[in-house]
Amino acid sequence: MKTSSTPDHVHSDGFLARLMRDQLKLSIACAVFFVTALIALPLLNYYQPEFMAQRIAGFTLSWLILGVLFFPFVWIISYIFIKRSIALEDAEAAAAKDSAKK
Amino acid sequence: MTPLLANITNVDPWIAICSLVTVVITVGMGFWSAGKSKSAGDFFVAGRSVSVGWNASAISGEYLSAASFMGVAGMVMATGYDALWYPVCYACGYLFLLLFIAGPLRRFGAYTIPDFAEGRYDSPVFRKIAVCFVLFIGFFYTMPQMKGAGTTLAYIFPGLPYWVGVAVVGAVITLNVSLGGMKGITLVQAFQYWLKVFAITLPVFILASIVGHYNQHLDANKTAFESTAANSAQVERKALPAKAPKDEQWIAPFGKLTTKAVDASIAAAPTPEAKATLEASKKPYSLLYTYSLIIALVCGTAGLPHILVRFYTNPDGVAAKRTTMWVMILIGVFYVFPPVYGVIGRSLTPELYDAVGAKGTDKVVLELPTLLAGKDHALLGSILSGITCAGAFAAFMSTFSGLLVSMTSALAHDVYGRILKPNSTPEQRLSAFKWAAVIIGAVSIGLGMQVEALEINFMVGQAFAIAAASYFPLLFMSVWWRGMTMKGAATGMLGGGLTALAAITLTSISDVANAAAKKLPAADVAAYWVDHPIAKSIANYWVAHPLARILCEQPAIWAVPLSITLMIVVSKATATTIPSDVRMKMLVLHAPEALGLKQEYIKEHEGLGH
């Protein structure tokens, strides 16, 4: 059962697949930065202990990254994601409504 | 003079006043909100009308528990760098929630996680399984909050029995929740977030300006690559007791937290060769521990039911995403500060290393401000200590409130409203909410009284690992894979969650026996395990097999993939049972709300008589 306001092609498998693919692509692109950092930091601590132990204003580099810099890094990723995902949703909604008019 | 009166006369008036004001404001707000919460929607999801700012503050207030306020600082002081993964992953785990779960979950528009489970798979049986897990994870997470309440009250009123604190705080919060429901606690939790930020930041800024800053105290700890500590600011540093980890071990990664299993095996190694072999495996095992901890905390954050239920209070999916981003900012700002207490505490209150349980490093946040009394700032020290106590109160009160609402909703909405009495009137459901709150509150108080011997962070870790291996895979796969079946989802959730629980229980039995052997408070409860043959044989097994101990203590690295694998394999095997309207369900989860698919889906189900 469809309502008259919902365009036909919105109910197609093609629309759903494209919708999910676009959303997942954006989510994974943002997750890659985060996951890379989570994997890389322990590895750097493991293989480059002397480099990570160097002092920066009293902090060791590894302490500065994990205890202070990691938070703004994640905020930036989330800000970019929110902006792009809202733009993506707006574009999807506009495209669906446009095709309904045609 | 009775012992209780003697306790009261020993109390620092500032600490008592600040704590009392926090409780009075919490209860007052609960009463005020009670008058505004009328409908069932107000009680369960705050009428789905909470703005981004309020909701982000409330989620942050609910999330920052006793473990965050006291436990993180204590753990950083006790174990050093490795403990930093806790605050970082507690905060950054929200990114996974934002990227993969928050928006779709809100768009689906259910009241609770069991609603989602039933709606996604058209299975009332799955609702029952999901309800059990909400209660299960909720009670695990409630116990450390109760422990925080008992120990903080015992700190404020020296000599007061632990159980009194648990009972008093539990009763106050239960009253608050049963009066105001979700709408009532949204305001209270939002207020409590800002109180906690104030309580953690103001004392540390004042302290640091007098005794030296974060970086200066870190600089007083030498690394393995320095011959002596620079301590360029010449900050005061008391001598460390023998129990404290050495500087180079404390400030560097792969320290005491992640190597304790191997260290125990090295200490018991029979030959120098065996010792050398274990020494060689220490760092790789430590790396493995670190990754498993990261997975548990990041995935666990995205699977905590009391946090997820809050996303339903957003007006729409976009608001849910914005809320998540602001939560990350708010809790990230908070989490920068507890490690500062841990670092300064290592320099100035090293005597805490010698104490155990609630009198050990866990109380560094409460203890540090009192040092100002010895530096000609007696009044300031008392006031700041009062403020940190108020923050601790806010911490366990707000988290317990959220857990209580989440578990009460599961009982009143899912068990009573959907399973026991589906035709109940809104008034009956409202009344059921209030009774369910009292029942859950009473059970929580009872459980809280039993866990004095266990560590706060240990219990929180259990809840995170179970959530990571059960709810996170369920939500992630249900949102993104249309081929999931109910049987696949249930098998994966139960398989991952229960094996993680079993693994954690194996380590906790030997740890509880160890705690009782050290004669921690309430040792009588744990003493049962001290000489128990099972506890002894498990402890001996851990010494002989440190890798097994690590994989059981931190099971996420295998339990999360196990859960996802089970979901995929069983779903493939039962592919014929994929819900017939799965395309519509996935559209509701993913399509922009402007397209109105949710309304269409509801009409469709009404037409089918659902």
pLDDT of residue A7: 62
Q: Which residue has the tokens 């249309």?
A: B482
For residues B418 and B112, the answer to whether their CB atoms sit within 8 Å is no
CA angle B210, B213, B219 (to 5 degrees): 130
**What does the alpha-carbon distance between residue B478 and residue B113 come to, in Å, rounded to a whole number?**
12
A9 in a structural domain? no
**What does the alpha-carbon distance between residue B45 and residue B364 come to, in Å, rounded to a whole number?**
37
Three-class SS of residue A42?
A: helix
B278-296 pLDDT tens trace: 889 999 999 999 999 999 9
Pairing of strands A55-56, A59-60: antiparallel
A60 in a structural domain? yes
Instruction: Say whether B587 and A11 touch across the interface (CB within 8 A).
Output: yes
| Site from B590, B602, B604 to mutate, A interface, most A CB atoms within 10 angstroms | B590
Instruction: Say whether A81 and B98 touch across the interface (CB within 8 A).
Output: yes
The secondary element (H helix, E strand) that includes residue A59 is strand A59-60
End-to-end CA distance of chain A: 21
**What does the alpha-carbon distance between residue B149 and residue B527 come to, in Å, rounded to a whole number?**
23
pLDDT of residue B599: 65
C-alpha B421: how far from its chain's center?
33
Residue of B nearest to A51 (CA): B225
Closest CA to B142 of B162, B117, B114, B169: B169
Closest CA to B551 of B496, B494, B507, B509: B507
Kindly list the residues from chain B whose CB atom is less than 8 angstroms away from the CB atom of residue A5. 596
For residues B442 and B511, the answer to whether their CB atoms sit within 8 Å is no
Q: How far is CA B396 from CA B29, B62, B482, in A?
A: 17, 9, 39
- Partners of residue A59 on adjacent β-strands: A56
| Total Cβ atoms within 10 A of residue B272 | 8
Task: Name the pTM for this structure.
Answer: 0.88
Residue of A nearest to B604 (CA): A1
What is the fold, at CATH topology level, of the domain defined by B3-579? Sodium/glucose cotransporter (1.20.1730)
**What does the alpha-carbon distance between residue A55 and residue A52 come to, in Å, rounded to a whole number?**
8
Burial of B121 per CB tally in 10 Å (0-12, 13-18, 19+): buried
For residues B308 and B178, the answer to whether their CB atoms sit within 8 Å is no
Residue of A nearest to B340 (CA): A67
Partner A contacted by B597 (CB < 8 A): yes
Instruction: Say whether A75 and B329 touch across the interface (CB within 8 A).
Output: yes
Residue in A43, A67, A92 nearest the CB of B592? A92
Closest CA to B186 of B2, B55, B97, B74: B55
Closest CA to A75 of B435, B140, B222, B336: B336
A45-77 pLDDT tens trace: 999 999 999 999 999 999 999 999 999 999 999
Closest CA to B409 of B138, B188, B175: B138
For residues B358 and B160, the answer to whether their CB atoms sit within 8 Å is no
Q: Which residues of chain B have pLDDT under 70?
A: 1-10, 30, 33-50, 110-112, 180-185, 305-306, 308-313, 356-358, 453-455, 457-458, 512-531, 598-610
Partner A contacted by B355 (CB < 8 A): no
pLDDT of residue A39: 96
Q: How far is CA B596 from CA B108, B462, B603, in A?
A: 12, 40, 11
pLDDT of residue B185: 67
pLDDT of residue B271: 87
Partner A contacted by B298 (CB < 8 A): yes
Closest CA to B296 of B462, B140, B465: B465
| Site from A21, A30, A70 to mutate, B interface, most B CB atoms within 10 angstroms | A70
pLDDT of residue A2: 47
Instruction: Say whether B325 and A5 touch across the interface (CB within 8 A).
Output: no
- Partners of residue A60 on adjacent β-strands: A55
The secondary element (H helix, E strand) that includes residue B11 is none
pLDDT of residue B607: 46
**What does the alpha-carbon distance between residue B135 and residue B123 come to, in Å, rounded to a whole number?**
19
pLDDT > 70? residue A94: yes
- Amino acid code (one letter) for B197: V
pLDDT of residue A56: 94
Domain that holds residue A62: 22-101
Domain count, chain A: 1
| Total Cβ atoms within 10 A of residue B505 | 12
| Total Cβ atoms within 10 A of residue A57 | 11
- Between positions 234 and 273 of B, the ones with CB within 8 A of A are 251-254
Quote the DSSP letter at residue B111. Answer: S
ipTM, interface predicted TM-score of the complex: 0.90
Burial of B241 per CB tally in 10 Å (0-12, 13-18, 19+): exposed
